[in-house]
Chains A and B, each alone.
Chain A
Amino acid sequence: MELAEENLDEHHLDEKEVVDVVVRFAGDSGDGMQLTGNNFTEATALYGNDLSTFPDFPAEIRAPVGATFGVSAFQIYFGANDVTTAGDALDVLVVMNPAALITNVDNLVDGGLLIVDSGAFTAKNLTKAKYQVNPLEDGSLDRFRVLEIDITKQVLAAVAEFNLGHKIGVRSKNMWTLGLVLWLFDRDRAGTIESLKKKFASKPEIASANIAALNAGHAYGETAELPAGIHVYKVPKAKVSPGTYRNITGTNALAWGLIAGSELANIDLLFASYPITPASNLLHELVRHREFNINTFQAEDEIAAVCAAIGASFAGSLGVTSSAGPGIALKSEGIALACATELPLIVVNTQRGGPSTGLPTKTEQSDLNMALHGRHGDTPMPVIASSTPTDCFEVAIEAVRLATKYMTPVMLLSDGYLANAAEPWKIPDFSEFEPFPVEHYTKAEDFKPSIRNEETLARVWAKPGTAGLEHRIGGIERSFDTGDISYDPANHQKMTDLRQAKIAGIANDIPLQEVCLGNKTGKLAVVGWGSTFGAIHQAVKRARAEGLDVSHIHVRYLSPLPRNLEELLKSFDSVLVPEMNTGQFVRLIRSEYLIDAEALNKVAGQPFKIGDILAAIHAKITTSGSNS
């Protein structure tokens, strides 16, 4: 289906109270926009809004100052209702220079608030952003509420007492801006002040300057004569179920899920990886938690990483490796070794725009085919995908359960959006998670490495160091009966069938597919997997509010598929599959079930907007009022 976007038309900065708001901070990659966004997120969570964030940064670490390709942005959608995406259009755009304006202004709604650091709109910066004339002067921004402030000047005045000099003083620009936006939405500064004190504990004068800038920005909002229509906006607290909450990114939830899995399985975990965007943060998070039974290994390359993980699994720990698409391709021979030797292994793929180096910092779902099929030989392995940042926690635990119970590599799909996005999380009670302790084999009598569990078909896990279990495994085909090398034709057939049956059998050990929103039968099912969850959920919710008969089905288990999925999909008149690829899951559905499912594809390095999916739903069902 052709990608079209609908305007959701629900932005209303005229009111003093607004139900939800999308704010985007944009500036140079050195302007500290990510830090600003994270602090605003903390304050917003503490305020009690539901929220979702989308850090959007360039591949360049420090692009030339003022360049459009160096613009780093942080978007947050927060409100009184359930928020599952970072929002479509912007209500508030904060720009620190002309490049940030030109690359983001098209997403600001008419009537939206534009906060501009006019001090950065110099002739030089305007040229770098390819503005012929200063947009602050040519009337092109008239449809917005524009708040022009020479932030640089304001900041230097605010931090003058610390005598830091121009270069260091001006770095507090982001905190000044944050102070202003915190005022704008009635948020508390205390959390930011605390975190600044912590961050600059060894440089108290820098901490003080940043706090002074933050307070000055806030005071500016309170005292300055602002243009008409710009005032404090109240966003009511979200009605969420009682409990203790925290914010968490997909990366951290995934890391903590792996730790939780290792605790539940009562097994040591070795995380071996090689740095690659956007997967590296998983290593950074796990290495900080070696107080658990976690060890990490930064390998010399992607291949060494998967091989070290396999070595750890052979030795009785759980090996986990992680990368993004190009790195996963390099690991594929190793993954097949884990499959052939029937050792547990978790492979996390934080997908990014491909092919090749592609768009390293942007999101995509285009490695599904590789996850399902990208190995030599008949090499099946379970593939599961997380759908939201917080879902990463449970999916990681599930990966540990499947890998250890079935002695198999498991592919866990995340993506650049999930990895960096954050959302509030009602902290689960860990004591309610059911443990699944691993039992290494120890019985020396009649031991063979080919002994397997009749129900799961999993091979025994006999680790070195166990007396009487000395044995050899390897990549050469092994005898079903003895585990020794075998070139016997009938045996290869048997082992190939066994490998297929073992993975297929997992379908009996995973939950039936549920409908996450809407009826179990009807006109249209919108079927997604992975990080499209939020946008699909909101679009289906809006369509149902209009009275349309639409349901949202989101698939976590991509191989093997849930055993009721075919029946479920066939109970809808039509099926729409939005994906951030050219249609990889839709082809699987079509070929597995012979269903005329339709694709909706977007490969722009950006997540789906709610309006993208809503437009497709409208195109698919034009009748209304049929919903129950």
Chain B
Amino acid sequence: MNQALPTLTVKDYASDQEVRWCPGCGDYAILKTIQKLMPTFEQPKENQVFISGIGCSSRFPYYMNTFGFHTIHGRAPAVATGVKLANPELDVWVITGDGDGFSIGGNHMLHVLRRNVDLQILLFNNEIYGLTKGQYSPTSPPGTRSPSSPTGSIDLPLVPCEVAIGSGGTFIARTIDTQAKHLAAVVTRGHEHRGTSFIEILQNCPIYNDGIFNQVTDKKIAADFKVELTHGEPIVFGKERELGIRLNHVSLKLEVVDATSDDVLIHDETNKVLATLLATMKAPDLPVAVGVIYHEEKPSYVDDSQQQLISIRKAKGSMTELLHSGHTWEVE
């Protein structure tokens, strides 16, 4: 069937709308990578749907020449669930941010993850509210100075991937806006997954939170602050890949050891306990993990819904039969 499709290119995926993110925004890089990636899925373009909430990231669908729906704040997962239930053939993508996805829309995020609806969620995490002009977000570190926290924020932040695992998510990954190759590889894995794929993209906001992820994006130092996870491979990092991660069996915490140590962990993306520990790694003690953190196969909500419908609809309903069902009586 795929052979009958015309070969699509990045150009086919660019809409005619002028892109209106701030110059230097990490969203440009993500958009470009996704536009390049879409043709590789070899799917009819008309079956691809991008759904977003509100925020800078949520403008994304306007720039994709696919079907798109820019909905309301925080509700994209709910709208997307309805789209997918109405037409399971569609390839549904949710574009959201740290505020949209985990503040106003936190409840829907929890439920779209545990239900395992078959769709991809790209969470652009810039640890700040951009579109409303720079307030702290649920992922901002404590002490963030912003228009709504001039003396430093006192909210304790959440870790999106950790919450996603805790919510029953079945595919949890983290990647970086400007690292096109890694981003494309992770998103491709997520797209292959049948269920809800949650992909956090660390995204730089050059206006309100510039450089917040420098440690993991600056080529000079990134190797020391970031670890790329590969299923079945040792969890090692550093310029010379000289460091590794091991589990301290007494404290049940992860810690950095010499890469030659024989207890360096091998990444097992099906291990939920390990995944939770890896998701929460951060400086100064530990590197930030990127790649597929957790993956398990579970029935998807949409598949199960379809299965029930197929079984129930073996005998199609008749309105006249329904109207006459149960007790009826004749009046002469």
Interfacial residues, chain A to chain B (CB-CB below 8 A): 42, 45-46, 48, 191, 240-247, 256, 259-260, 263, 268, 270, 272, 289-292, 295, 297, 299-301, 303-305, 307-317, 319, 333-334, 337, 341, 426-428, 430-431, 463-476, 484-485
Give how many B residues have a beta carbon under 8 Å from the other chain's beta carbons.
58
Question: Any chain A CB within 8 A of the CB of B44?
Answer: yes
In the complex, 8 of the A-B residue pairs with CB atoms within 8 angstroms, ordered by the A residue number, are A245-B330, A290-B312, A304-B108, A305-B78, A311-B84, A464-B47, A466-B46, A469-B46
Q: Pick the contact of A430 from B65, B309, B323, B328 — CB < 8 Å? A: B323
Question: Any chain A CB within 8 A of the CB of B111?
Answer: yes
- Shortest CB–CB separation between residue A468 and chain B, in angstroms? 7
Alpha-carbon distance between A427 and B327 when the two chains are bound, in angstroms: 12
By the criterion CB–CB under 8 Å, are A485 and B62 in contact?
Answer: yes
Using CB atoms, name the residue of chain A closest to B308.
Answer: A290
Alpha-carbon distance between A426 and B324 when the two chains are bound, in angstroms: 10
Top-9 shortest CB links A-B: A311-B82, A474-B70, A308-B82, A307-B78, A472-B68, A315-B86, A304-B78, A291-B317, A311-B79
By the criterion CB–CB under 8 Å, are A470 and B70 in contact?
Answer: no
- Asked, given contacts A307-B75, A430-B323, A465-B87, whether A300 binds B331 with beta carbons under 8 Å apart, the answer is no
Interfacial residues, chain B to chain A (CB-CB below 8 A): 15, 17, 44-47, 49, 51, 54, 61-62, 64-72, 75, 77-87, 89-90, 107-108, 110-111, 305, 308-309, 312-313, 315-317, 319-320, 322-324, 326-332
The interface centre, meaning the residue of A42, A295, A426, A467 with most chain B CB atoms within 10 A of its CB, is: A295
- Shortest CB–CB separation between residue A469 and chain B, in angstroms? 7
By the criterion CB–CB under 8 Å, are B82 and A319 in contact?
Answer: yes
Using CB atoms, name the residue of chain A closest to B61.
Answer: A472
Which residues from A are CB-within-8-Å of B54?
475
By the criterion CB–CB under 8 Å, are A242 and B331 in contact?
Answer: yes
Which residues from B are CB-within-8-Å of A304?
75, 77-78, 81, 107-108, 111
By the criterion CB–CB under 8 Å, are A314 and B17 in contact?
Answer: no
Which residues from B are CB-within-8-Å of A469?
46, 67
Which residues from A are CB-within-8-Å of B87?
315-317, 463-465
Which residues from A are CB-within-8-Å of B85?
270, 295, 297, 308, 311-312
By the criterion CB–CB under 8 Å, are B62 and A300 in contact?
Answer: no
Which residues from A are CB-within-8-Å of B15?
472
Which residues from A are CB-within-8-Å of B64?
472
Alpha-carbon distance between A513 and B313 when the two chains are bound, in angstroms: 41
- Shortest CB–CB separation between residue B30 and chain A, in angstroms? 17
Q: Pick the contact of A475 from B17, B47, B70, B107 — CB < 8 Å? A: B70
Using CB atoms, name the residue of chain B closest to A246.
Answer: B328
By the criterion CB–CB under 8 Å, are B47 and A303 in contact?
Answer: no
Which residues from A are CB-within-8-Å of B328?
244-246, 427
- Shortest CB–CB separation between residue A397 and chain B, in angstroms? 11
By the criterion CB–CB under 8 Å, are B329 and A244 in contact?
Answer: yes
Using CB atoms, name the residue of chain B closest to A343.
Answer: B69
By the criterion CB–CB under 8 Å, are A299 and B78 in contact?
Answer: yes
Which residues from A are CB-within-8-Å of B305?
295
Alpha-carbon distance between A260 and B319 when the two chains are bound, in angstroms: 7
By the criterion CB–CB under 8 Å, are B46 and A300 in contact?
Answer: no
By the criterion CB–CB under 8 Å, are B82 and A244 in contact?
Answer: no
Q: Pick the contact of B317 from A259, A475, A485 — CB < 8 Å? A: A259
Q: Pick the contact of B331 from A243, A260, A295, A333 — CB < 8 Å? A: A243
By the criterion CB–CB under 8 Å, are B71 and A337 in contact?
Answer: yes
Q: Pick the contact of A308 from B79, B89, B107, B315 — CB < 8 Å? A: B79
Alpha-carbon distance between A402 and B68 when the two chains are bound, in angstroms: 25
Which residues from B are CB-within-8-Å of A270?
82, 85-86
By the criterion CB–CB under 8 Å, are B17 and A474 in contact?
Answer: no
- Shortest CB–CB separation between residue B82 and chain A, in angstroms? 3
Using CB atoms, name the residue of chain A closest to B15.
Answer: A472
- Shortest CB–CB separation between residue A614 and chain B, in angstroms? 30
By the criterion CB–CB under 8 Å, are A472 and B329 in contact?
Answer: no
Which residues from A are CB-within-8-Å of B46?
464-470
Which residues from B are CB-within-8-Å of A308?
78-79, 81-82, 85
By the criterion CB–CB under 8 Å, are A312 and B329 in contact?
Answer: no
Which residues from B are CB-within-8-Å of A485?
17, 62
Q: Pick the contact of B320 from A289, A315, A430, A484 — CB < 8 Å? A: A430
Which residues from A are CB-within-8-Å of B110?
300
- Asked, given contacts A465-B89, A466-B46, whether A472 binds B67 with beta carbons under 8 Å apart, the answer is yes
Alpha-carbon distance between A516 and B235 when the two chains are bound, in angstroms: 79
By the criterion CB–CB under 8 Å, are B75 and A303 in contact?
Answer: yes
By the criterion CB–CB under 8 Å, are B71 and A291 in contact?
Answer: no
Alpha-carbon distance between A475 and B87 when the two chains are bound, in angstroms: 22
Which residues from B are CB-within-8-Å of A484?
17
Using CB atoms, name the residue of chain B closest to A317.
Answer: B86
By the criterion CB–CB under 8 Å, are A46 and B62 in contact?
Answer: no
- Shortest CB–CB separation between residue B70 and chain A, in angstroms? 3
Alpha-carbon distance between A297 and B115 when the two chains are bound, in angstroms: 12
The interface centre, meaning the residue of B68, B78, B81, B108 with most chain A CB atoms within 10 A of its CB, is: B78
Q: Pick the contact of B327 from A42, A299, A430, A466 — CB < 8 Å? A: A42
Using CB atoms, name the residue of chain B closest to A43.
Answer: B327
By the criterion CB–CB under 8 Å, are A465 and B75 in contact?
Answer: no
By the criterion CB–CB under 8 Å, are B62 and A472 in contact?
Answer: yes
Which residues from A are CB-within-8-Å of B329?
45-46, 48, 244-246
Q: Pick the contact of B312 from A291, A309, A315 — CB < 8 Å? A: A291
